[in-house]
Structure 1
Amino acid sequence: MRFDKKQLLLYAVTDRSWLKDRTLSMEVEEALKGGVTFLQLREKELGENRFLEESLKIKALCRNYNVPFIINDNVKLALACGADGVHVGQSDMKASDVRDLIGQDMILGVSVQTVEQAVDAEDNGADYLGVGTVFVTATKADADFVSYETLKSICHAVSIPVVAIGGINEENIMELTGSGIAGVALVSAIFASKSIKAKSKRMLQLSERVVKS
């Protein structure tokens, strides 16, 4: 699946930490209704069977809203469920190896923190990059911090689109203006919200302003 970089404007990464009495599918659909343009299913605790079941449900929702559906880390499961793509980190499988497994039609995203990593990821088949963490975040407390200057340098060093991730919220998103990003990836800013649909709509508006500037 090829995609338009405009689809990276509001990239949602799931987290079941805030589900309470709701299902993940319910929360994801609220986000999609609010304007999420790209969705990554991230599951660290589910067994393979549950993960596959969940991925099929979320994939069906994304299809209904014409939003690319990405699996985090698990290449085997991404292939099994027919996801649009997979996203891997620096400690996961090499981008070139992932590309060999998924072929040319699936989307490949790679997390990077440096210009060197970014260029290497592009050279080895990445379609887009996730750069972070750009702000302090409780979601990934051990994540490396990436400065605004480095984020901007990465955007200028590669020809593929870049998404900023890590601690981005309504209060700080405008600080990313002028960096060259194609969009923002959000976790708690969307899924910890009392109104996921309304917050998604608001963050999409802000992301559009950042990207246009």
Structure 2
Amino acid sequence: MPRMSPRRLTMSFSVARARRKRSAMPATRSCSSRIIRSPAVGATARASSPRPARCQSTPPHPTTALRAGQALARRAPFCYDLAMPEPATLRILDANANRAREALRVAEDYARFALDSARLADALKGLRHRLRAQLDAFGLPAEALLAVRDTPGDVGTTLSAPAEMRRTSAADVAKAALKRLEEALRCLEEYGKTLSADAARGIQAIRYAAYELELQLFRLPRGRLAHARLYIVLSPARPGDDLAAAGRAALRGGADVLQLRHKSAPAPQLLALARELREATREHDALLIINDRPDLALLADADGVHVGADDLPIRAARRLLGPTHLIGATAHTVELAQQAEAEGADYVGCGAVFPSPSKPDREVIGPARAAAVARAVRIPVFAIGGITQANVGEVVAAGCLRVAVIRGILDADDVEAAARSFCDKLRGLRDA
């Protein structure tokens, strides 16, 4: 192998390669050491005296020999002919180890502060510590990785894509972090195979655990709510409306949330409808909210309940539903939205943004005031009231990226196509 600088030769040794090198040596050989002079030190290592015959026929264990070499290398930069990782491999491992640790911390903070999930925060913290231990299994001291780090000379620090700086919510930040984590773990696994197959398999196990945590993180109701953009209220306009069929069609079109609002239906009929919609939302990984009935929400295993100004108080609903269910509230001013947030609401429906055929007596606040409410609270705000495909652009342009729709979708000849068109418009307007 070509002669390498003393600095690189002293920074790391590969356990796996040292073992292969030692096992390839003859079983019977002299234990005397060859003297190598290092110009950097200006000293000569003392040659060891010949060992007894017993030593000559039984070479030292490769790990023992390797540790002795590492200890000597720390004292003086002697040039040893031990195989070690290429500097490029060390740089790749260093970069991806940092990337993975940072991504785990970002996801952990999201679980802790945005989802208030102690279980997920603890699981992500445990995975971060597990990663640190598994990186140690490669046998690379921190000094070796620091020695090859060259941030000013890294050509990748100047490369970026426009989407990297575009995040619309805390959930978007966490989701991007988990994708970086999975990519970094894959790189650590593949390049780590050049050092230790066992350690690489350990990284693989961590990668699989990250996939599962990602699924749990965004399958929790609050995690899915953070990504929701299109919320559809299933409310009958006339007797005989098939709300179950409309809900299934809306889900096929991409709806993120369905709210069942049927004030006049008997409780048994409403519960049966809620359970039917629960199955449909599970198939599409969407949320189901029941209007004003925490009892039916629990019985139907819905994701939460929406309470209006004249309905059950938010704190009372929370006592019934517990901490994991969603509670939505209605607010048309900044003050009411902030009060709802303080009382424990998970989201707010804000309107009427435009004149609404569902509630013609509701005050019209316009897109600008709805956007002001969205900016004033940390929880998601869905603009509602008279929103159609013709005016949704005004709502998004004002700063409301989430909308709740009733008649604008339910009155369409093709509910699925109408929902899909809304989703496309929201996605296109958000990314514009």
TM-score per shorter chain, which class? over 0.9
- Residues 1:49 and 2:299 are matched in the alignment: no
- The CA deviation at 1:177 is 2.5
**Equivalence for 1:164:** 383
Higher helix share: 2
Matches within 5 A, 1:9-48: 9-17=229-237, 23-48=242-267
Q: Is the 8 A contact 1:139 1:188 kept in 2?
A: yes
**Equivalence for 1:8:** 228
- 3-state SS, counterpart of residue 130 of structure 1: strand
Answer with 140-149 or 29-38: which moved more. Answer: 140-149
Higher relative contact order (CA 8 A, sep 6+): 1
The CA distance in 1 between the partners of 2:306 and 2:272, in whole Å, is 19
Q: Is the 8 A contact 1:181 1:211 kept in 2?
A: no
5+ residue gaps, structure 1 = none
2:293 corresponds, among 49, 74, 91, to: 74
Matches within 5 A, 1:113-132: 113-132=332-351
**Equivalence for 2:411:** 192
Q: Identity over aligned residues, as a percent?
A: 32
Q: Is the 8 A contact 2:260 2:291 kept in 1?
A: yes
- 3-state SS, counterpart of residue 91 of structure 1: coil
The CA distance in 1 between the partners of 2:381 and 2:428, in whole Å, is 16
State the 4+ residue runs in structure 1 displaced beyond 6 angstroms. Answer: none
- The CA deviation at 1:134 is 0.3
The CA distance in 2 between the partners of 1:49 and 1:5, in whole Å, is 28
**Equivalence for 2:400:** 181
- The CA deviation at 1:116 is 0.7
The CA distance in 2 between the partners of 1:179 and 1:4, in whole Å, is 24
- Residues 1:133 and 2:333 are matched in the alignment: no
How many pairs does the alignment contain?
A: 212
- Cα deviation digits, residues 129-150 of structure 1 (max 9, x gap): 1001100111111222223332
Q: Note the aligned Cα RMSD (angstroms).
A: 1.7
Higher strand share: 1
- Cα deviation digits, residues 105-129 of structure 1 (max 9, x gap): 0011111011111000001111111
- Cα deviation digits, residues 39-84 of structure 1 (max 9, x gap): 1111111011111111111111111111010001112211221110
- 3-state SS, counterpart of residue 63 of structure 1: helix
- The CA deviation at 1:99 is 1.4
Q: Is the 8 A contact 1:18 1:192 kept in 2?
A: no
The CA distance in 2 between the partners of 1:95 and 1:104, in whole Å, is 12
**Equivalence for 1:155:** 374
